[in-house]
Chains A and B, each alone.
Chain A
């Protein structure tokens, strides 16, 4: 059985975003890649249930999320690895952001409740609409909206970029340095 070329390409094209999503769920690059692999295998085995013309990416995200949740239930006793592992594996850092800002963002993201982080990644970083994100998470659109909203508000708070007295990208860095200098 061969996949239709368009189906194969759509699956492969979704991999970078799937990996980012898997990393945000599992906090661990190796486990994220295992999840992506398992997702692709399951998708291929069930390709008949994919409706051509619908969003392949959303379908794959749904499979990955379900896999993660069933695995997570099994491994509940394990100590959850936070997003730290991801940062450690990065070799280069984006030029626009300093190391400190990157670290601060990572730490802030890790502080969000899992359901809020998940909603934020889907809508804010994976390009899904609220409706698509709701379908992936099997919840109401309003629930996704409120999770995204709470996630953004909390992040802005943690990073001190909320509100009118915002000063730009240097402020979080300065905040850390100031806080670190005392105590």
Chain B
């Protein structure tokens, strides 16, 4: 059976969380962070461009057209 490098004990948890990270992050960690960041902002991105912003541009252009004629 494959041995997993199990993290041992809950009592160490606080220590683990506060310890300093040495050196570079692994590619895997970077990938994971990137994914989390992506997922975190996915919700707002999925909303696309709200209609109010299209409307804003239209209004601005209309106003400019009237103003300059």
Considering the complex, which residues of chain B in the window 39-68 have a beta carbon less than 8 Å from any beta carbon of chain A?
A: 39-45, 47-50, 52-54, 56-57, 60-61, 64-65, 68
Number of B residues near A (Cβ < 8 Å) is 43
Number of A residues near B (Cβ < 8 Å) is 57
Are the C-beta atoms of A1 and B40 separated by less than 8 Å? no
Where chain A touches its partner, the secondary structure class is helix
- Interfacial chain A residues near B65, Cβ < 8 Å: 1-2
What separation, in Å, do the CA atoms of A96 and B43 have in the docked complex?
12
Considering the complex, which residues of chain B in the window 19-43 have a beta carbon less than 8 Å from any beta carbon of chain A?
A: 19-21, 25-26, 28-30, 32-34, 36-43
What separation, in Å, do the CA atoms of A15 and B16 have in the docked complex?
40
Is A79's CB within 8 Å of the partner chain B? no
What separation, in Å, do the CA atoms of A159 and B40 have in the docked complex?
14
CB closest chain-B residue, reference A120: B37
- What is the CB-to-nearest-CB distance from B1 to chain A, in angstroms, rounded to a whole number? 17
Are the C-beta atoms of B37 and A94 separated by less than 8 Å? no
Are the C-beta atoms of A175 and B36 separated by less than 8 Å? no
CB closest chain-A residue, reference B64: A1
Are the C-beta atoms of A125 and B57 separated by less than 8 Å? no
**In the complex where A158-B17, A179-B13 touch, is A125 in contact with B41 (Cβ < 8 A)?**
yes
Are the C-beta atoms of B40 and A105 separated by less than 8 Å? yes
Q: Which residues of A contact B (CB under 8 A)?
A: 1-3, 8, 11-13, 15-17, 19-20, 23-24, 33, 36-37, 40-41, 44, 86, 90, 92-94, 96-97, 101-102, 105-106, 109, 120-121, 124-125, 152-153, 155-167, 169, 171, 175, 178-179, 182
